[in-house]
């Protein structure tokens, strides 16, 4: 007595094989992006109160700017976004250092795109967005607002000056 074999229509089998191949391709693409190309998803770092974030003496955004963590190697940069400017509008870091940006907004939603890097995120009031990058070449890198935030949205930018 032979075991009954399940019948699979050839069309159905081909589509199952095709779907599995696509899943493997997608998983590979995600793995290459994450581990090979260093693409990071900006996860919410922490929450702040947008009403007090600029005035609370314990808030780093009350005195935004560059903090040296390890001289020449590691820096934290706190940037506060408001209509229609970034505070500070100019940041200086040395070339080759690991620079982490912590950005939040005190009013409406803004964007933060850092030229010639893969740093690009939304700035939501009450949330802190964080990403890390290393500048390998000296020069000026603009950060621009990428989310429409009102009349002077297009004029909202700042610059990271990477010093040799
Ligand atoms: Cu800020 Cu657009």
Q: What is the DSSP string of 13-31?
A: HHHHHHHHHHHHHHHHHHH
Q: pLDDT tens-digit profile of 95-127?
A: 999 999 999 999 999 999 999 998 999 999 999
Separation between Cα atoms, residue 66 and residue 84, nearest integer Å: 20
Q: For ligand 1, is residue 110 a contact (CB within 6 Å)?
A: yes
Residue nearest atom 1 of ligand 1, based on CA coordinates? 110
**Average pLDDT of the residues in 73-86:** 96
Q: pLDDT tens-digit profile of 23-62?
A: 999 999 999 988 888 787 777 788 999 999 999 999 999 9
**Average pLDDT of the residues in 132-142:** 95
Q: For ligand 1, is residue 101 a contact (CB within 6 Å)?
A: no
* Cα 163 to averaged position of ligand 1 atoms, centre (Å): 27
Q: Say what the pLDDT of residue 4 is.
A: 73
Q: For ligand 1, is residue 144 a contact (CB within 6 Å)?
A: no
Please give the residue that has the higher pLDDT: either 86 or 6: 86
**Average pLDDT of the residues in 154-159:** 96
Q: Say what the pLDDT of residue 42 is.
A: 72
The closest alpha carbon to 48, from 105, 119, 130, belongs to 105
**Average pLDDT of the residues in 67-92:** 96
Q: For ligand 1, is residue 84 a contact (CB within 6 Å)?
A: yes
Q: Say what the pLDDT of residue 2 is.
A: 56
* Cα 119 to averaged position of ligand 1 atoms, centre (Å): 16
**Average pLDDT of the residues in 150-160:** 96
| C-alpha neighbours within 13 Å on the C-beta side of residue 45 | 18
Per mean pLDDT, which range of 2-16, 89-103, 107-121, 124-138 is the poorest? 2-16
Contact 158, 142 (CB under 8 A): yes
pLDDT band, very low/low/confident/very high, at 153 (cuts 50, 70, 90) = very high
pLDDT band, very low/low/confident/very high, at 3 (cuts 50, 70, 90) = low
Contact 134, 121 (CB under 8 A): no
Q: For ligand 1, is residue 148 a contact (CB within 6 Å)?
A: yes
Kindly list the distances between the CA atom of residue 117 and the CA atoms of 11, 20, 64, 113, 132, in Å, as whole numbers in the listed order.
46, 34, 22, 8, 10
Buried b (16+ CB within 10 A) or exposed e, 83-119: bbbbbbeebebbeebebbbbbbbbebebbbbbeebeb
Contact 79, 90 (CB under 8 A): no
Architecture of domain 43-163: Sandwich (2.60)
């Amino acid at each position: 007595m032979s075991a009954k074999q399940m019948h699979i229509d050839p069309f159905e089998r081909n589509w199952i094989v095709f779907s599995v191949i696509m899943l493997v391709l997608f998983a590979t693409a995600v793995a290459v992006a994450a581990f090979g190309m260093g693409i990071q998803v900006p996860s919410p770092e922490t929450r702040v109160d947008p009403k007090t974030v600029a005035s609370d003496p314990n808030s780093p955004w009350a005195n935004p700017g560059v903090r040296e963590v390890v001289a020449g190697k590691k820096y934290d940069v706190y940037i506060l976004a408001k209509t229609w400017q970034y505070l500070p509008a100019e940041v200086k870091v040395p070339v080759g250092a690991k620079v982490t940006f912590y950005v939040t907004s005190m009013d409406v939603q803004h964007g933060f795109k850092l030229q010639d890097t893969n740093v690009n995120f939304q700035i939501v009031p009450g949330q802190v967005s964080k990403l890390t990058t290393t500048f390998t070449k000296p020069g000026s890198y603009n950060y621009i607002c990428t989310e429409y935030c009102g009349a002077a949205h297009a004029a909202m930018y700042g610059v990271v000056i990477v010093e040799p």
